[in-house]
Amino acid sequence: MTSETPILPSTPAFFDIEPSRGWVNLGLGELWKHRELLYFLTWREIKVRYKQTALGVGWAILQPLFAMLIFSLFFGRLGKLPSDGVPYPLFVFAGLVPWTFFSNAISASSNSLVNSAHLISKIYFPRLALPISSILSGLVDFALAFGLLLVIMAYYRVAPTVNVLWLLPLVLLAAVTALGVGLWLSALNVEFRDIKHTVPFLAQMWMFATPIAYPSSMLPARWRTIYGLNPMVGVVEGFRWALLGTGFRPGRIMLASALAAVCLLVSGAFYFRRMERTFADVV
Amino acid sequence: MSNIALRVDGLGKKYSIGERRAAYKTLRDGVATAAEGSLRSLGALFGRTGSIPTSVPTDYWALRNVSFEVKHGEVVGIIGKNGAGKSTLLKILSRITQPTEGRARVCGRVGSLLEVGTGFHPELTGRENIYMNGAILGMSKADIERKFDEIVAFAEVDAYLDTPVKRYSSGMQLRLGFAVAAHMEPEILIVDEVLAVGDVQFQKKCLGKIGEVARGGRTVLFVSHNMTAVRTLCERCLVIEKGALAEDTKDVAQAVRRYGGYGAGSSRWVRDSSEFRSDQKMAFTSIDCQISGDQPQHTITLTVELRSIRQHAPAFIAFDITDASMTPLMQALPKPEGFLHHDDVYQLLVEIDLPPLIPGTYRIAAWVGSHFNSTYDSVGPVLEFSITTSPTPRRSFPHTQDHGSLVPRSRVSVPVSNAY
């Protein structure tokens, strides 16, 4: 093999480097060109996540499992919260599976830029690849936890309905929401390291604003659409509806959730791209 | 299209000092500045300017008003002192950071190598890291697969491909990092000071590879403090000084001699007090250099002052002697074992007997450290001395560096039968 490949005649493959001002375009075409990088970054995250841990990938199911046990004990047994007619542990676990994915995704993506500071200051590539890959890599953990959810359903003899097909758009909704939040927080984190300390707290508050330990049927009906502006409400309720047949079918709440998620994503993407030009100088 | 690979037009990059020093702020600072700002604008609204103390960060231009063009296939060296703005220029051209003003047009695929092994993950194996690093540098999976064997051969790591990189020696990591980058085949290659690390063998190999890339008709922008490398590789040289383009010349040897990366040499060097690093164990404070004697027996007398700052192992000193273009010629090691124990201030008198050297100016660099590999302090080749007379009496033609700087003493005896 030789290293001499003929240089292709320069197609008008030039680009200009200039200070950009105001709101810049999203550069999605360029991101698409770097899709292999996206793949490799995701793959690296997955490979590295459980290196040198004793339980390895077991952590992916232990996390929601323990949360389920604690919730069942305190909220189900002692607090006697209603669970829409399904066994409380199953009810709570069906909410915890998408929630764990979401909360891990926002914490991973909000730290993704700062953790890759050495890359950002030495190499050019579309920076969007970092938060996106940190969310994609969480899908593996999600799949494992979802497997456990199916096992628990079998244990309680609850059969999924045909509505399970809805799970795909629901996972997408969770991912879009996580990415929207992750874009805002990761860009802010470059300049303000406060974000790192805020995220766990934010995740906790958000969890209580999401119907995980309790059903949203506890809320008065007129508040539900506003409640649905928290996109995770749509995701969690949708999960229960599709798998367990409880909750409500994707209706107005779902629409509110989807709209809110898209707003988060679009605003996050523009904010990220705007801040991107100083990442290498500040990080 | 024209054969211009790179056109840079009035490029400038401004940092605010605050930004450079405290790299990131906390929200509190942000809120404080914002509050201050709005107070000020509130003041301005009521026509009371200047009543509120301002704390506008001082601006600092790392690069200003730099313009040049590079044709396809040119190999351009960029030299200048540390902090002159070379790296900022390369960072802008490789799109890592944005310029504050001006513009640049880049025609062709750019590959930049600002650091060897960027993106290596210690937990991944060599094989995995080749793919990872290649993807980060912008190679496609197919490209990497096609080049894989070559990369492995260049890096000489075939036996360790499935070992995590954290078990590699630093030399192996360097070789692997360079190997991946060197095989990415961009049309424009930007290289920053990658040769500053690694052993001589590695540097030679890298230089060879960069030369090969250059001869293959690609455009290369090359920043280095290794002046020999710049001289041998580059056909053109840009000198950056204090953020501006000081010189753009085809006479690389001349530029290297003049700027050399260390400024003019002198017979006395004194450290700025601000230059101490707090984590440093020892530091040179001043060095004086005198030359005495005559050809063929010159003697250099160095008066060296150095300090111990923190606890350290027994240390020793060494002096590198280079020619004017920083090509290393020899090293003097007056006492090759640790003899400086922790003490406040040392005054040392060092005498070096020079071998016969051709007329010209020479530089001396100083080093102090222990165990041959831990450096406590080093002072670049800043001390200068000159040789004015020829080491060969009765020679009637000038000396040139093309035949080296050293003139060994030599004899010849002519067999009687051939003498006439």
Per-residue pLDDT of B205-233, as tens digits, reads 888 888 888 888 889 998 887 777 788 88
Domain boundaries, chain A: 28-282
pLDDT band at A55 (very low <50, low <70, confident <90, very high): confident
Judge whether residue B387 has pLDDT over 80: yes
The rounded mean pLDDT for chain B is: 80
- Mutating which of B8, B19, B27 best tests the A interface, going by the most A Cβ atoms within 10 A? B27
Measure A104 CA to nearest chain B CA, in Å: 21
CB contact under 8 A, B136 and A119: yes
- All residues of chain B having their beta carbon less than 8 Å from the beta carbon of residue A46 are none
CB contact under 8 A, B1 and A281: no
Measure B118 CA to nearest chain A CA, in Å: 6
CA-only gyration radius of chain B, Å = 26
The answer to whether residue A120 neighbours chain B at the CB level (below 8 Å) is yes
CB contact under 8 A, B108 and A51: no
DSSP A11-79: -S-EEEE----SSPP--HHHHHHTHHHHHHHHHHHHHHHTTT-SSGGGHHHHHHHHHHHHHIIIIIIIS
pLDDT of residue A221: 77
pLDDT band at B2 (very low <50, low <70, confident <90, very high): low
pLDDT of residue B292: 86
Q: Specify the pTM.
A: 0.72
Of the segments A7-16, A199-208, A223-232, which one has the largest average pLDDT value? Answer: A199-208
Residue B304's CB is within 10 A of a number of other CB atoms, namely 21
The answer to whether residue A277 neighbours chain B at the CB level (below 8 Å) is yes
Judge whether residue B19 has pLDDT over 50: no
The answer to whether residue A13 neighbours chain B at the CB level (below 8 Å) is yes
- All residues of chain A having their beta carbon less than 8 Å from the beta carbon of residue B149 are 1
Measure A162 CA to nearest chain B CA, in Å: 39
Find the CB nearest B98 among A5, A48, A277: A277
Q: Which residue of B has its CA nearest to A21?
A: B100
CB contact under 8 A, B109 and A13: yes
CB contact under 8 A, A10 and B108: yes
Measure A112 CA to nearest chain B CA, in Å: 13
In this prediction, residues A257-270 reach a mean pLDDT of 94
- All residues of chain A having their beta carbon less than 8 Å from the beta carbon of residue B57 are none
Distance separating alpha carbons of residues B376 and B369, to the nearest angstrom: 5
pLDDT band at A6 (very low <50, low <70, confident <90, very high): very low
Choose between A185 and A157: higher pLDDT: A185
CB contact under 8 A, B98 and A20: yes
Judge whether residue A12 has pLDDT over 60: no
As a three-state string, the secondary structure of chain B is CCCEEEEEEEEEEEEEHHHHHCCCECHHHHHHHHHHHHHHHHHHHCCCCCCCCCCCCCEEEEEEEEEEEEECCCEEEEECCCCCCHHHHHHHHCCCCCCCEEEEEEECCEEEECCCCCCCCCCCEHHHHHHHHHHHCCCCHHHHHHHHHHHHHHHCCHHHCCCEHHHCCHHHHHHHHHHHHHCCCCCEEEEECHHHCCCHHHHHHHHHHHHHHHHCCCEEEEECCCHHHHHHHCCEEEEEECCEEEEEECCHHHHHHHHCCCCCCECEEECCHHHCCCCCCEEEEEEEEEEEEECCEEEEEEEEEEEECCCCCCEEEEEEEEECCCCEEEEECCCCCCCECCCCEEEEEEEEECCCECCEEEEEEEEEEECCCEEEEEEEEEEEEEECCCCCCCCCCCCCHHHCCECCCCCCCCCHHHCC
- Mutating which of A24, A40, A118 best tests the B interface, going by the most B Cβ atoms within 10 A? A40
Judge whether residue B55 has pLDDT over 80: no
In this prediction, residues A115-127 reach a mean pLDDT of 88
CB contact under 8 A, B187 and A7: yes
Q: Which residue of B has its CA nearest to A49?
A: B123
Distance separating alpha carbons of residues B104 and B81, to the nearest angstrom: 23
pLDDT band at A184 (very low <50, low <70, confident <90, very high): very high
Q: Which domains, from first to last, does chain B contain?
A: 16-61 (no CATH), 69-259 (3.40.50.300), 268-395 (2.70.50.60)
Find the CB nearest A13 among B107, B183, B218: B107
Find the CB nearest A1 among B19, B102, B149: B149
Choose between A64 and B36: higher pLDDT: A64
Percent of chain B surpassing pLDDT 70: 83
In this prediction, residues A31-49 reach a mean pLDDT of 89
Measure A132 CA to nearest chain B CA, in Å: 15
pLDDT of residue A137: 93
CB contact under 8 A, A194 and B185: no
pLDDT of residue A85: 81
CB contact under 8 A, A1 and B150: yes
Choose between A154 and B57: higher pLDDT: A154
In this prediction, residues A43-55 reach a mean pLDDT of 83
The answer to whether residue A197 neighbours chain B at the CB level (below 8 Å) is no
Judge whether residue A80 has pLDDT over 70: yes
pLDDT of residue B273: 59
